[in-house]
């Protein structure tokens, strides 16, 4: 595999060799020696970064004209650190950026557009909706490295004991299945994660989002959004549901219950697949069912697309820009994504990276099938900031402390402060 990655890097080097040699920067000239670029990697330092360190070494072997200074930056700190560094002209040449950061960094002028560069030479091989959320105002500012979305994870054995032969396709079917699982097995049928990100499928299922960017409207408190969250609220109160957990350990408690067979279904992302397979209920990996999130009244299912883009700093000189483009091309190549997927159990962003070697991982194979339901985040820099007020109000709504409309109106008011040129619907 590593030989394969090196081969891709050599091909990428041929593509960009002309631009790298003609950059005009002293630091990039042959006389000055290799160009040294810095990469801030925001992956998990224990479980994921070793894979990327290996890939950096492979890249450097195949590209002796470029050296990479690898820095692992904690994800929680990376956004603010990059903003500070970019504002003082000291940012890394390449950043592994959450998809929710890309538009904001581009709007601030921190990122270099990648259209027509070596970094984007294979853009046609990537999932279209992932490319869409790497853009801002029509220009490409990132290349998708890994992706994720939400799906219904369910325990096939518990479903079978309850006489359920297929995954629920609608929220109404999920509600019925939840009651049936409890009745037949004594196990809770479904557990809700009361966080804003996990509530998004209930909005998408009603054909809405927090914002309508084209119309410049705040839609988080629209009738469709209220209907979606009312559906979620009714699900929380339904027979067979796990008790709503709003504690600081709620996420971990839900995962523990699911992996040990104490709850039959949850909405979750592929980042938990490896942990699920370690649980007592899924030691036989094929006991895990993965299906699209249920649909709302529109008949369509939708889940938010997540993941990370590799972006290039606009403040770098021409030689460093060329080297950064070469590095991004390497790290997002088909062979690199295959290697990353097999080592880190993450979802590739390229269609040609879903090889038999990759899809032997049942978590990856399952989530590949639901990626088509993924909804790109709008290219609005403030969009990700809306999750905080939405999450605060969602807990109050689901706990019965306020009505759905009142809570969502509060979210809309917070959105108006962030987006004063938007109208509330």
CATH 3.40.1010.20 fits 2-148+306-375, yes or no: no
How buried is 177 (Cβ within 10 angstroms: 0-12 exposed, 13-18 middle, 19+ buried)? buried
Residue 108's nearest CA partner among 328, 382, 385 is 382
Residue 280 CB coordination number (10 Å): 9
Residue ranges matching CATH 3.40.190.10 in the chain: 2-148+306-375, 151-304+379-424
Q: Determine the Cα–Cα distance for residues 48 and 102; give it in Å rounded to an integer.
A: 21
pTM of the model: 0.87
User: What is the full per-residue pLDDT of the chain (425 aa) written as tens digits?
Assistant: 333 443 333 333 333 333 333 333 333 344 467 999 999 999 999 989 999 999 999 999 999 999 999 999 999 999 999 999 998 888 999 999 999 999 999 999 999 999 999 999 999 999 999 999 999 999 999 999 999 999 999 999 999 999 999 999 999 999 999 999 999 999 999 999 999 999 999 999 999 999 999 999 999 999 999 999 999 999 999 999 999 999 999 999 999 999 999 999 999 999 999 899 999 999 999 999 999 999 999 999 999 999 999 999 999 999 999 999 999 999 999 999 999 999 999 999 999 999 999 999 999 999 999 999 999 989 898 998 999 999 999 999 999 999 999 999 999 999 999 999 999 87
Q: How many helices (H) and strands (E) does the chain have?
A: 17, 14
303-312 and 143-149: which strand pairing?
Answer: antiparallel
DSSP string, 145-156: EEEEE-EEEEEH
Cβ–Cβ < 8 Å for 281, 256: no
Helix (H), strand (E), coil (C) string for 364-379: HHHHHHHHHHEECCCC
The stretches of 279-403 forming alpha helices (DSSP H) are: 318-331, 334-344, 356-359, 362-370, 387-398
- C-alpha distances (whole Å) from 90 to each of 37, 43, 323, 397 are 12, 21, 17, 43
pLDDT confidence of residue 32: 64
CATH class of 151-304+379-424: alpha beta
How buried is 64 (Cβ within 10 angstroms: 0-12 exposed, 13-18 middle, 19+ buried)? exposed
pLDDT confidence of residue 7: 39
């Amino acid at each position: 595999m590593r030989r394969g990655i090196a081969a891709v890097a050599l091909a990428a080097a041929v593509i960009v060799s002309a631009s790298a040699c003609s950059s005009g920067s002293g630091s990039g000239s042959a006389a000055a020696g290799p160009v040294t670029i810095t990469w801030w990697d925001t992956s998990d330092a224990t479980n994921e970064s070793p894979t990327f360190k290996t890939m950096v070494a492979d890249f450097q072997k195949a590209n002796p004209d470029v050296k990479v200074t690898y820095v692992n930056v904690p994800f929680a700190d990376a956004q603010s650190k990059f903003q500070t560094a970019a504002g003082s002209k000291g940012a890394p040449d390449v950043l592994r950026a959450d998809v929710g950061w890309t538009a904001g960094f581009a709007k601030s002028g921190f990122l270099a557009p990648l259209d027509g560069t070596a970094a984007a030479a294979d853009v046609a091989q990537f999932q279209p909706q992932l490319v869409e959320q790497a853009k801002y105002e029509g220009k490409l500012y990132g290349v998708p490295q890994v992706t994720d979305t939400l799906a219904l994870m369910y325990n096939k054995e518990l479903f079978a004991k309850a006489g359920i032969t297929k995954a629920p396709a609608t929220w109404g079917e999920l509600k019925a299945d939840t009651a049936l699982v409890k009745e037949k097995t004594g196990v809770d049928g479904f557990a809700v994660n009361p966080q804003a990100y996990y509530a998004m499928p209930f909005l998408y299922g009603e054909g809405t989002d927090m914002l309508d960017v084209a119309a410049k409207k705040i839609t988080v408190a629209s009738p469709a959004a209220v209907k979606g969250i009312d559906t979620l609220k009714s699900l929380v109160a339904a027979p067979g549901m796990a008790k709503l957990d709003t504690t600081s350990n709620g996420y971990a408690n839900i995962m523990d219950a699911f992996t040990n067979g104490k709850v039959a279904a949850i909405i979750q992302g592929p980042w938990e697949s490896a942990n699920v397979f370690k649980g007592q209920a899924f030691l036989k990996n094929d006991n895990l069912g993965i299906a699209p999130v249920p649909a709302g009244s529109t008949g369509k299912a939708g889940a938010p697309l997540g993941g990370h883009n590799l972006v290039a700093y606009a403040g770098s000189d021409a030689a460093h820009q060329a080297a950064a483009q070469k590095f991004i091309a390497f790290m997002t190549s088909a062979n690199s994504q295959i290697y990353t997927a097999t080592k880190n159990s993450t979802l590739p962003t390229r269609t040609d990276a879903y090889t038999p070697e990759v899809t032997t991982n049942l978590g990856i194979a399952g989530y590949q099938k639901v990626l088509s339901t993924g909804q790109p985040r709008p290219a609005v820099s403030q969009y990700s900031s809306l999750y905080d007020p939405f999450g605060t109000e969602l807990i109050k709504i689901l706990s019965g402390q306020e009505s759905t409309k009142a809570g969502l109106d509060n979210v809309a008011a917070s959105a108006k402060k962030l987006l004063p040129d938007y109208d509330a619907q």
